[in-house]
Amino acid sequence: RPGPPPAGGRQPSFSTSCARCSKNRRLRQKRVISERKLTRYFVDHRKVRVVGGQGGGGGHSFYSEPRKIFGGPDGGNGGDGGHVILKADQQMKSLSSVLPFYQGFHGEKGGSKNCYGANGAYVYVKVPVGTLVKEDGKVVADLTQHGEEYVAAYGGAGGKGNRFFLSNENRAPTLFTPGEPGQERVLHLELKTTAHAGLVGFPNAGKSSLLRAISRAKPAVAAYPFTTLNPHVGIVHYQDYEQVAVADIPGLIKGAHQNRGLGITFLRHIERCRFLLYVVDLSVSQPWIQLQDLKYELEQYKKGLSERPCVVIGNKIDLAQSRINLPLLKEQIDDRVIALSALTGDNLEELLLHLRELYDTYVKTEQSRGQSPVKW
């Protein structure tokens, strides 16, 4: 039975009298992180030194019991050292939590009475999906699926006890071997955002506003260039429970492939996108030149990147100058143009429908090749 009301006649914000009433508690909203602060949390490069655990030494003992002389050797083998394993986890969105050094647990030493030492425990390092593992500039692993693992450093083998060296020629061996050291490597982890679609456009074209309009992602929006300093991924939900991931790629300007502006820092994130959404500001003069410059920058970074399935989004159609430039843009390019306004929400439905068509085409293509498409 609930207790008496609190003094002052005010009702408490929630009740602890029963489990049913406890569901009325207000959920705390997530703390909004500014774009500047988010830069400290978003890390897409990390240098890691990994060392496997050392194997345990072999045991050295002889069986001893009353009235039993010459019991023979009974030193067990040592346990193997633990591996260091990288594991892709879709809950991880950045490499900021990855430490610069990891070492596997050591194996235990072999004991008497033929007791083997225990193996060292594995050390699992969670990394985001889409992490590329490089060693000396060469790619050694590409973790693109949730739960995929890669053994970064193998543990050393355990040593042999003197029981192992027992033979007809040597009935009382005193030889035993120590455990081997674990493998040591220096790896470079590189994160490439795995998303179905990539928003490509110059600063202030409205990419972040568009991502806020079609998903629950909340990238910073302001009236100055380079407002968005980190890639943001928004999820577009459909009624049949399919989810399409759309990434907002910042830092693309004329000359970005020559490391101007934010440079090639985030161009690598476009490589994972299966299709591209070119966002063009219709209010500027000759908007088709923006599209030519965008494709040129992508092609200079990686050949064939600009030839992926795409659609051109003419943003800011709510402005008068944009309505004048729209027919001119359609005359200059062959790609499909979807005119919309991320600010007012005009014609967002056409984009969402065409986005689903691109996604369905991608799924059918992957299935026809016998591969499983990326799901969110």
From residue 204, alpha-carbon distances to 171, 232, 322 in Å are 83, 16, 15
Contact status, residue 85 vs residue 160, Cβ threshold 8 Å? no
In the predicted model, is pLDDT for residue 267 greater than 80? no
> What is the token pair recorded at 117?
């030492």
d(CA 168, CA 336): 83
The mean pLDDT value for 169-194 works out to 86
Other C-beta atoms within 10 Å of 111: how many? 18
Contact status, residue 226 vs residue 132, Cβ threshold 8 Å? no
Query: 23: pLDDT confidence band, cut at 50, 70 and 90?
Result: very low
pLDDT at 329: 83
From residue 251, alpha-carbon distances to 33, 88, 182, 228, 356 in Å are 20, 27, 42, 8, 26
Domain positions in the chain are 42-192, 197-369
Q: Is 269 helix (H, G, I), strand (E, B) or coil?
A: helix
pLDDT at 103: 93
How many Cα atoms sit within 13 Å of 174 on the Cβ side?
0
Query: How far apart are the two ends of the chain, measured CA to CA in Å?
Result: 45
At the top level of CATH, the class of 197-369 is: alpha beta
Buried b (16+ CB within 10 A) or exposed e, 6-29: eeeeeeeeeeeeeeeeeeeeeeee
The answer, as to whether pTM is greater than 0.75, is: no
CATH number of 42-192: 2.70.210.12
97 or 261: which leads in pLDDT: 97
In the predicted model, is pLDDT for residue 239 greater than 60? yes
Dihedral angle of Cα 5, 11, 17, 19, to the nearest 10 degrees = 170
d(CA 373, CA 61): 57
Place of tokens 């939900």: 237
The mean pLDDT value for 171-191 works out to 88
Contact status, residue 228 vs residue 209, Cβ threshold 8 Å? no
Contact status, residue 313 vs residue 329, Cβ threshold 8 Å? no
In the predicted model, is pLDDT for residue 311 greater than 60? yes
DSSP string, 315-373: E-TTSHHHHHHHHHHHHH--S-EEE--TTT-TTHHHHHHHHHHHHHHHHHHHHHTT-PP
> What is the token pair recorded at 370?
């016998």
Nearest C-alpha neighbor of 271 from the set 252, 245, 298: 298
In the predicted model, is pLDDT for residue 255 greater than 60? no
pLDDT at 22: 40
Q: List, for residues 88-142, the tens digit of each pLDDT value.
A: 988 887 788 889 999 999 999 988 888 888 899 999 999 988 888 999 888 899 8
